[in-house]
Amino acid sequence: MAEKPTLADYPLAETAPDRIRGGRGKALDDLTMEAVLAGDVTVEDLRITAEALAAQAAIARAAGRPTLAENFERGAELVAVPQDLIMETYDMLRPGRVRDRRALMERAELFRRDYGAEEIARFIETAAEFYHRRGLVSD
Amino acid sequence: MEQIPQANRWRRYSDWDDRPLRLDRFAREDPANGFAAFSSPADPRPGLATEAGRVVSMDGVPAHDFDLIDAFIAEYHLDPDVAAEAMAMDSGEVARMLVDMHVPRETLVRLAHGMTPAKLADVVSRLNALEIAFAYAKMRPRKTPGNQAHVTNAKDDPLQLAADAAVAVGFGFDELETTMRVARNAWSNAVACLVGSAVGDWGTLFQCSSEEAEELKIGMAGFTSYAETVSVYGTERTFVDGDDTPWSKAFLVAAYASRGIKARCTSGGGAELLMGYHEAKSLLYLEARCLCLQRGMGVQGTQNGGIDGAPVTASISGGMREIMAENLLAVWLDLECASGNDARPTESEIRVGAKILPYLIAGSDLICSGFGSILKYDNSFNPSLFNGEEMEDFLVLQRDFEADGGLTPLPETKALDLRIRAVEAISAVLEELDLARPTPQMKASVVVASGSRETTTFSPGETARISEAIQTRGIDVLDVIRALHRRGFSPEAENLLRLVKLRVSGDYLQTSAIVRRGRILSAVNDPNDYAGPGSGYRLSDERREEICDIRDTIGQSEVLAAQAMHRRAEARRITYEAKGDAGEGTDPLDVVIGISPAFGLQLFQTTGGLNLSDVLRALIRGVEDGGARPRILRMHHTADTSFLGLTAAQMAGSGYGIGIQAKGTAVIHARGRMPHNNLELFSNAPITTLAHYEQLGRNAASFARGVPPEPVVVPTEGQALGARYHAQVALIHAIETGLTVPDRAPEEIEILFLGQKEKA
């Protein structure tokens, strides 16, 4: 796919099947039935990558959908985050799970530090700010 | 003593009491208690103030008083570059732009980015129902309409799920959604529906509606391709009561994207009312908040339009219009809209048909966010607006309006083939993965069953064990693909592999994405470009043919074939011997029975299924019994009942005659009357019996004798006889008119009833 895909590159699976890669680096074209039967394909190979999500974000932005693009960018940052951590963080963001703002701020920092997830970190920090204003968390 | 009825009730009200409609309960408007569709005194006036790019007040609420929803909308939805311009516009002017085909969709989408919930609600509330439907057709994101099915059953039976999923795909649904009666059956439901959906075609997206964490896990195993259970609400209390916040839900939406799973949120009018925290606001205003929230979250789409709140919304004045208005808001905000039409909001079939029509003719990304493809009692979400029972009604509505509701008629033999293949495929997977061994009896019962009450299948315990094993053994979609392939279901294995590969590129994460004929169609590469007649979505000739090809249609060949079946039998009962041109009768008791051109020659039964020989015999017997003498003439110059009768009367010595068409329509006429001013008419041939014909003959004789008879009344139950018979009638009548010869004189006919040596 191009460095910064445009609307003309969509759908990526049709325009760049050789360059779209799964979670372990296999190209879309290599995910064949033969490879599946030989046991060379795992569920990890069927996972989307941060690069593909970034490409979809660029396409969404080009299509006039900036908020969708931002969601894809947050998603891109979560690709490498283990499932348990995602579910734990989701739970922390639910009402009444976390009593003080600091726990949320620390979680934001963890995303920033361990996963380079700047957007996610800012998103959690903004949540913490408004949760605090609405009394969902204390200082 | 004669009983005079007491005038305490007009009994029509009792009739009305018995109609299904009266099972629906209607709520009085009561904004203080949340019962207001479009506006409530508690709704804020639209407004927005910003300072240095920051929102300082929105819809009358200063920023420091924002609740979580206000805060989220101000932070993530409102585009400061557009807001000043959009908020300054006159709402009436924007409303007119929505229904102006010359104003492009993009212009309106851009303006929506700068509008607050109260502003958006203020605009759409100015549109009437027709304008909302029109604006919806123009604003929906993807050009090609689609549809979604529920596939569930009361036993969570995997065999039936597979069979029903295959059939749903056969009907053309773009998405399938399942859920369970017993929560822990989620995994077996997912595998069964997925395998069924891979029979016959590929690309139908599938979701398994369950608890959030579990749903994501099932998705991670590759069994599902989308999720739509991310519910959002229009008041903070409802949100928090639902155990979430806008941020937690937005995080979940990003998590789905990170796993390559298509996601949409769910919201619908009435949810806050049902959950008790409506803040006395109107349904539309609260829904506008939900939808701004969703755009702010960056979710590609929404399941919207009443949804579980549809029944309570429909109980309020203007409720159905409100549901349309909230759907319009969704697409105006550029969200894919799975437009409700799921939870059945009424027991009245008339209200059901009225509810669906605007969506059918306007089109929608997914017209139903759950058309019950199974029987009502098998729908684990609760019955839908349309269900398995009413599938053909929907197909016919598509044909009636030449409107694409996303579905295609499925020939009976193909449906059966799909069911057999799907049951075999899921059985192979269950066996191959050592999950269960379905017996031949189980499989056979499921293949033919219309619903789960007819099946002999796994016990609830067995199904739960299958589900548990799938989960605990970590079985994933690749295991299923390999199992299918090993057992010879390689087309299905290939279909599944293609489906799971969708998530690697993420193309189907874009707005309004579905898969058609192996290709992604979304608002990106199939954008709605409606700009008036000739633009936007149009039926191709090929698609029109598909939609119109419903089963059991009739044409001339069917009518002729049906009549030919009776030709031989009639030949054993009656002969019609032509004796040349008829003369005018002189006998004052001469009553002419004028038969039509094709009577007994090409047509042999009335639309009521009576043999023409029997009908003629009844008429003759009646005339004779009434003291007159029947004479049979065949008319060649006309096939019209009135003229058949009038000519018969003119030829009759008595001046009275009977005219009868082969389809059974009959009349008594008298010489000198105006053609359409007959004495008696049987216009409803399908419900006319031999006894009626005999009495008609008797009455004609009575007229001839100068004794005015009591007219024969053919009682009708109010059947829509036109709907039942007019297609045949028109085809039959064309056969009659095809035989007419304008100047040819009536012909004397000698009738011989065979086997009884009876002459007339």
CB B233 within 8 A of CB A119: no
Q: Is the preceding peptide bond at A82 cis, omega within 30 degrees of 0?
A: no
User: Residue B697's CB: how many other CB atoms inside 10 A?
Assistant: 29
Which of A42, A46, A55 comes nearest B503 by C-beta? Answer: A46
- A33 with B220: Cβ contact below 8 A: no
Single-letter amino acid code for the residue at B626: G
Rounded Cα gap, residues A85 and B258, in angstroms:
13
Flag whether pLDDT at A1 surpasses 60.
no
Residue B517 dihedral angles phi and psi, to the nearest 5°: 50, 45
Rounded Cα gap, residues B672 and B508, in angstroms:
76
CB B321 within 8 A of CB B129: yes
Averages of pLDDT over each 10 residues, chain B, 760 residues? 80 97 97 97 97 94 98 97 97 98 98 98 98 98 98 98 98 98 96 97 96 91 94 96 95 97 96 95 98 98 95 97 98 98 97 98 97 98 97 98 98 98 98 98 98 96 97 97 98 97 96 97 98 97 98 92 92 96 96 97 95 98 98 98 98 98 97 95 94 98 97 93 93 94 97 70
CATH match for B556-759 among 3.30.565.10, 3.40.50.720, 3.40.50.620, 3.40.50.10150: 3.40.50.10150
Contact B524/A at CB under 8 A: yes
B256 neighbourhood in chain A, CB within 8 Å? 75
Residues 60-99 of A with CB under 8 A from B: 60, 63-72, 74-79, 81, 83, 86-87, 89-90, 93-96
User: Residue A51's CB: how many other CB atoms inside 10 A?
Assistant: 14
Instruction: Tell me the shortest Cα–Cα distance from B350 to chain A, in angstroms.
Output: 39
B295 neighbourhood in chain A, CB within 8 Å? 67
Select which of B197, B207, B303, B650 is catalytic: B303
- Residue of A12, A24, A40, A46 for testing the chain B interface, max B β-carbons within 10 Å: A46
What residues contact residue A3 under an 8 Å CB cut-off, 6+ apart? Answer: none
Active-site residue, B563 included = no
B556-759 shares the fold of B148-548: no
Among B454, B419, B459, CA closest to B439: B459
Among B167, B152, B209, B178, CA closest to B407: B167
The two tokens of residue B56 are: 């300082």
The pLDDT assigned to B756 comes to 56
Q: What is the DSSP string of B299-359?
A: -SEEEESSGGGHHHHHTSTTHHHHHHHHHHHHHHTT-EEE----B---S-HHHHHHHHHHH
- Domain locations along chain B: 148-548, 556-759
Q: Looking up tokens 């796919």, which residue turns up?
A: A1
Contact B408/A at CB under 8 A: no
In this structure, which long-range contacts are made by residues A118-127, counting pairs with CB atoms below 8 Å and at least 24 apart in sequence?
A: A118/A77, A119/A70, A119/A73, A119/A74, A119/A77, A120/A74, A120/A77, A120/A78, A120/B251, A120/B254, A123/A74, A123/B247, A123/B250, A123/B251, A124/A89, A124/A93, A124/B247, A124/B251, A126/B75, A126/B247, A127/A93, A127/B245, A127/B247
Strand partners, B149: B176, B371
The pLDDT assigned to B758 comes to 47
The SS3 of residue B750 is strand
Rounded Cα gap, residues B49 and B715, in angstroms:
72
What residues contact residue B678 under an 8 Å CB cut-off, 6+ apart? Answer: B642, B645, B646, B667, B668, B669
Tell me how many helices (H) and strands (E) chain A has: 7, 0
What would the pLDDT profile of A88-127 be if each residue is shown by its tens digit?
999 999 999 999 999 999 999 999 999 999 999 999 999 9
Contact B477/A at CB under 8 A: yes
The pLDDT assigned to B135 comes to 98
Contact A48/B at CB under 8 A: yes
Q: What is the DSSP string of B157-202?
A: -HHHHHHHHHHHHHHT-SEEEE--SSGGGHHHHHHHHHHHHTSS-S
Contact A11/B at CB under 8 A: yes
B529 neighbourhood in chain A, CB within 8 Å? none
What residues contact residue B8 under an 8 Å CB cut-off, 6+ apart? Answer: none
Instruction: Tell me the shortest Cα–Cα distance from A123 to chain B, in angstroms.
Output: 8
Contact A123/B at CB under 8 A: yes
The pLDDT assigned to B210 comes to 93
CB B148 within 8 A of CB B175: yes
Rounded Cα gap, residues B609 and B390, in angstroms:
29
Active-site residue, B322 included = no
- Stated as kind and residue range, the H or E segment containing B557 is helix B556-571
What residues contact residue B315 under an 8 Å CB cut-off, 6+ apart? Answer: B24, B25, B26, B27
**Dihedral sign (CA A107, A108, A111, A114):** negative
Among B94, B136, B127, CA closest to B112: B94
CB B605 within 8 A of CB B612: yes
B497 neighbourhood in chain A, CB within 8 Å? 31, 33, 36
The full set of domains in chain A, from first to last, is: 1-78 (no CATH), 81-139 (1.10.1510.20)
Q: What is the DSSP string of B664-730?
A: S-EEEEETTS-TT--SEEE--GGG--HHHHHHHHHHHHHHHTT-PPPPP--------HHHHHHHHHH
Question: Residue B598 CA to chain centroid, in angstroms?
Answer: 40
CATH match for B148-548 among 3.50.50.60, 3.60.21.10, 3.20.20.70, 3.20.20.350: 3.20.20.350
CB B302 within 8 A of CB B311: no
Q: In what order do the strands lie in the sheet with B54-58?
A: B48-51, B54-58, B61-62
Select which of B57, B125, B148, B471 is catalytic: B148
**B27 DSSP 8-state letter:** P
CB B506 within 8 A of CB B261: no
Residue of A nearest to B492 (CA): A33
Rounded Cα gap, residues B670 and B642, in angstroms:
11
Rounded Cα gap, residues B676 and B654, in angstroms:
20
ipTM of the complex: 0.98
Q: Looking up tokens 């709605």, which residue turns up?
A: B528
The two tokens of residue B707 are: 């004794």
Active-site residue, B342 included = yes
Residue B7 has, within 13 A of its CA and on its CB side, a CA count of 0
Residue B273 has, within 13 A of its CA and on its CB side, a CA count of 32
Active-site residue, B177 included = yes
Q: In B52-194, which ranges are E strands?
A: 54-58, 61-62, 148-150, 175-178
The pLDDT assigned to B37 comes to 97
**B485 DSSP 8-state letter:** H
**Dihedral sign (CA B164, B169, B171, B174):** positive
**B35 DSSP 8-state letter:** B
A77 neighbourhood in chain B, CB within 8 Å? 254, 258
- A37 with B213: Cβ contact below 8 A: no
The pLDDT assigned to B560 comes to 87
